[in-house]
């Protein structure tokens, strides 16, 4: 039997073929593009993106500002642990749960605050490592932390140490892609000896699950004579199931195993903005120089040529064929030479407006308003507040990502060791996953978004609490990052101190203090009225008793 094949014609004048998929419209004819898999579109280009992102951070103020705003607002001085165990599952009373949480937080601080106790390199404490991660992660696209161990000591009773590794060192071994040529060391896809695929240093099994990371002992193209070695580190411990490597990244596509730098979509405009700024600065400086050029037909043996003079002028070059500009300088030209300049007008009055417009576009791509990017708040209160609120949506989202990818896994590994060593009592933690989860519940408190008008925002918080729309704890965190229970404890102490200092009874609440003030005013008014009546009676009604 002969097979019959039917040719399906290309749709014409249907659906998106008349819109964004059109190849007939003049505006789209040249827009012929092709997108591939994440390893083709992302991994193969990540080396270039990382280098350009870093150099822009080092040389372009707007790029520097964008990355530092992320770091400062997402992490600030560091995300602090607030244990929030599920006491209902654990069968604890409120008092017992509070005591356990305070004890655990104090024990965690013992490890987190000392750089020798938590950092394998001894450079940062846990909060400094958070700041480093929050800067390196968006700059390079991702960052890694190795879980290592050290011998405990009486001062540092925990063995857990974190070793941060930059994105470049996690990559596919050269020999797995069939070449030992170092110029091909940025090729990203290979096959492990066990048959698993390696995507830019991330080994995945046949189901697509991450099973290991390949870590080089040096950066790509680091030719220091040392032998290049790759170490395979399994993603999770075989016995404990705890992570051996923490990978902090932001995914934008399914089946994506490596992150993209935060500045990736804005690299070109940021570079052009830097060039434009440098050109404007140079032009303004040149315009401000007063330089004279003397042309002569004199004998070159008698008159020294290309001599530069001027108060405070220091020559950069001694080349007789180079002429330098400076404030109040004189250049003597050789016979037949001439100098011609264009006549730009500087400063450019449109520079600020143009740069502001570009910053708004870049800020839109980075989810950061131009006001915040430039640290220039010249709008109305409502406009500035709206800009900050929009920016903080992104900051809170990234803070939660950082907590999920870094802080909470570290806390789980630390608490497991603390329970195993007997420093924290948590019955059932090591045997029952439900109980383990109940003990591990936590919040990570970071800097608040700040206040443009504290009076309005505090009044709004009080109104929300009064009407049951929020809690005192939530508002304390939002307004200044403080903890409500700690505030109450501190106020009780301060009110007691104030009572002792004044020698008066003090109830310790703002409402009662206001009531005392009202009573005092009322008493004063009553006494004043009584005195006035007494004087009137004495003067006008002598001998009359009330």
What pLDDT shows up at residue 540? Answer: 62
Query: Do the domain assignments include residue 487?
Result: no
Q: Mean pLDDT score of the chain, rounded to an integer? A: 83
Non-local (6+) Cβ contacts of 358 within 8 A are: 269, 273
Residue 253 sits in the same domain as residue 334:
no
Closest CA to 401 of 264, 248, 210: 248
Q: What pairs with residue 513 in β-bridges? A: none
Boundary (domain end) residue, out of 352, 368, 395: 352
Residue 160 sits in the same domain as residue 291:
no
Residue 251 sits in the same domain as residue 292:
no
Query: Do the domain assignments include residue 15?
Result: no
Question: For the segment 505-520, what is each residue's pLDDT rounded down to a tens digit?
Answer: 545 455 555 555 455 5
520 vs 134, more confident: 134
Exposed/middle/buried for 359, CB within 10 Å: 0-12, 13-18, 19+?
A: buried
Mean pLDDT, residues 356-360: 92
Query: Do the domain assignments include residue 1?
Result: no
Residue 234 sits in the same domain as residue 278:
no
Total domains in the chain come to 3
Which helix or strand (DSSP H or E) is residue 308 part of? strand 308-309
Residue 156 sits in the same domain as residue 218:
yes
Dist. CA 414–CA 457, nearest whole Å: 38
Query: Do the domain assignments include residue 447?
Result: no
Counts of helices then strands in the chain (DSSP H, E): 18, 13
pLDDT band at 471 (very low <50, low <70, confident <90, very high): confident
Dist. CA 180–CA 173, nearest whole Å: 9
What pLDDT shows up at residue 413? Answer: 97
Share of the chain above pLDDT 70, in %: 77
Mean pLDDT, residues 61-72: 94
pTM of the full structure? 0.77
Exposed/middle/buried for 252, CB within 10 Å: 0-12, 13-18, 19+?
A: exposed
Query: Do the domain assignments include residue 486?
Result: no
Residue 532 has pLDDT above 70, yes or no: no
Mean pLDDT, residues 533-543: 62
Q: Of 34-38, 238-242, 335-339, which one has max mean pLDDT?
A: 238-242
What pLDDT shows up at residue 404? Answer: 96
Residue 275 sits in the same domain as residue 322:
yes
Query: Do the domain assignments include residue 492?
Result: no
pLDDT band at 462 (very low <50, low <70, confident <90, very high): confident
Query: Do the domain assignments include residue 93?
Result: no
Asked if 144 contacts 404 with a C-beta cutoff of 8 angstroms, the reply is no
**Residue 140: half-sphere exposure toward Cβ, Cα within 13 Å:** 19
Mean pLDDT, residues 169-184: 69
Residue 131 sits in the same domain as residue 237:
yes
Residue that has been written with the tokens 């709008």 in this structure? 379
Residue 220 sits in the same domain as residue 276:
no
Least confident of 179-183, 265-269, 360-364, 418-422: 179-183
224 vs 86, more confident: 86
Boundary (domain end) residue, out of 322, 352, 382: 352
pLDDT band at 478 (very low <50, low <70, confident <90, very high): confident
Dist. CA 20–CA 28, nearest whole Å: 8
Residue count of the chain? 546
**Residue 161: half-sphere exposure toward Cβ, Cα within 13 Å:** 17
Q: CB neighbours (10 Å) of residue 76?
A: 17
Dist. CA 337–CA 297, nearest whole Å: 10
Question: For the segment 143-160, what is each residue's pLDDT rounded down to a tens digit?
Answer: 999 999 999 998 999 999
3-state DSSP of 147-190: EEECCCCCCCCCCEEEEEEEHHHECCCHHHHCCCCHHHCCCCEE
Residue 183 has pLDDT above 50, yes or no: no
Angle CA 189–191–195, to nearest 5: 150
Residue 275 sits in the same domain as residue 256:
no
What pLDDT shows up at residue 81? Answer: 92
Residue 212 sits in the same domain as residue 140:
yes
Asked if 387 contacts 63 with a C-beta cutoff of 8 angstroms, the reply is no
What pLDDT shows up at residue 340? Answer: 66
3-state SS assignment for residue 357? helix
368 vs 331, more confident: 368
Dist. CA 429–CA 409, nearest whole Å: 15
Dist. CA 101–CA 93, nearest whole Å: 12
CA end-to-end distance (rounded Å), the chain:
130
Residue 252 sits in the same domain as residue 273:
no
Asked if 414 contacts 157 with a C-beta cutoff of 8 angstroms, the reply is no
Non-local (6+) Cβ contacts of 505 within 8 A are: 499
What pLDDT shows up at residue 148? Answer: 96
Residue 160 sits in the same domain as residue 273:
no
Query: Do the domain assignments include residue 84?
Result: no
Q: Six-digit token pair at 416?
A: 């497991």
Q: Six-digit token pair at 434?
A: 């439900």
Range of the domain at 311: 267-352
Boundary (domain end) residue, out of 243, 260, 277: 260
């Amino acid at each position: 039997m002969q097979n019959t094949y039917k040719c399906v014609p290309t749709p014409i004048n249907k659906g998106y073929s008349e819109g964004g998929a059109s190849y007939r419209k003049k505006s789209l004819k040249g827009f012929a593009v092709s997108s591939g898999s994440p390893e083709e579109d992302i991994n193969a280009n990540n080396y270039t993106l990382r280098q350009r992102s870093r150099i822009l951070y080092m040389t372009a103020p707007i790029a520097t500002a964008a990355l530092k705003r992320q770091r400062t607002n997402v992490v600030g001085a560091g995300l602090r642990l607030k244990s929030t165990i599920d006491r209902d599952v654990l069968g604890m009373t409120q008092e017992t749960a509070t005591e356990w949480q305070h004890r655990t937080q104090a024990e965690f601080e013992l490890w987190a605050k000392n750089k020798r106790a938590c950092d394998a390199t001894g450079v940062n404490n846990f909060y400094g490592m958070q700041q480093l991660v929050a800067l390196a992660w968006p700059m390079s696209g991702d960052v890694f932390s190795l879980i290592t161990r050290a011998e405990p000591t009486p001062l540092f009773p925990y063995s857990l140490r974190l070793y941060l590794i930059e994105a470049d060192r996690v990559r596919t071994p050269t020999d797995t892609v069939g070449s030992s040529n170092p110029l091909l060391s940025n090729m990203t896809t290979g096959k492990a000896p066990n048959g698993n695929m390696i995507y830019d240093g991330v080994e995945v099994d046949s189901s697509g699950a991450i099973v290991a990371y390949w870590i080089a002992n040096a950066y790509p193209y680091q030719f220091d004579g040392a032998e290049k070695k790759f170490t395979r580190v399994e993603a999770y411990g075989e016995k404990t199931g705890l992570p051996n490597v923490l990978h902090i990244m932001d995914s934008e596509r399914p089946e994506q195993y490596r992150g993209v730098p935060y500045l990736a979509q804005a690299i070109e405009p940021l570079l052009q903005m830097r060039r434009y700024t440098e050109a404007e600065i140079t032009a303004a400086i040149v315009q401000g120089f007063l330089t004279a050029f003397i042309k002569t037909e004199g004998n070159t043996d008698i008159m020294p040529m290309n001599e530069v003079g001027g108060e405070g002028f220091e020559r950069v070059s001694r080349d007789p064929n180079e002429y330098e500009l400076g404030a109040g300088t004189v250049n003597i030209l050789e016979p037949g030479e001439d100098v011609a300049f264009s006549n730009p007008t500087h400063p450019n009055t449109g520079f600020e407006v143009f740069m502001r417009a570009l910053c708004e576009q870049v800020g839109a791509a980075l989810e950061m308003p131009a006001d915040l990017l430039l640290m220039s708040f010249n709008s109305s209160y409502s406009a500035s507040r709206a800009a900050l609120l929009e920016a903080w949506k992104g900051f809170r989202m990234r803070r939660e990502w950082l907590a999920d990818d870094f802080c909470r896994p570290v806390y789980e590994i630390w608490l497991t060791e603390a329970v195993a060593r007997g420093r924290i009592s948590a019955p059932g933690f090591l045997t029952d996953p439900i109980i383990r989860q109940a003990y591990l519940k936590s919040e990570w408190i970071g800097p608040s978004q700040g206040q443009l008008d504290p009076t309005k925002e505090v009044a709004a918080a009080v109104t929300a609490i009064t009407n049951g729309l929020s809690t005192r704890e939530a508002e304390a965190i939002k307004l200044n990052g403080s903890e409500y229970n700690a505030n109450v404890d501190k106020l009780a102490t301060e009110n007691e101190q104030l009572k002792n200092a004044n020698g008066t009874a003090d109830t310790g609440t703002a409402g009662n203090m206001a009531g005392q003030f009202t009573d005092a005013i009322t008493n004063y008014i009553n006494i004043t009225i009584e005195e006035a009546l007494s004087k009137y009676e004495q003067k006008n009604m002598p001998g009359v008793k009330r």
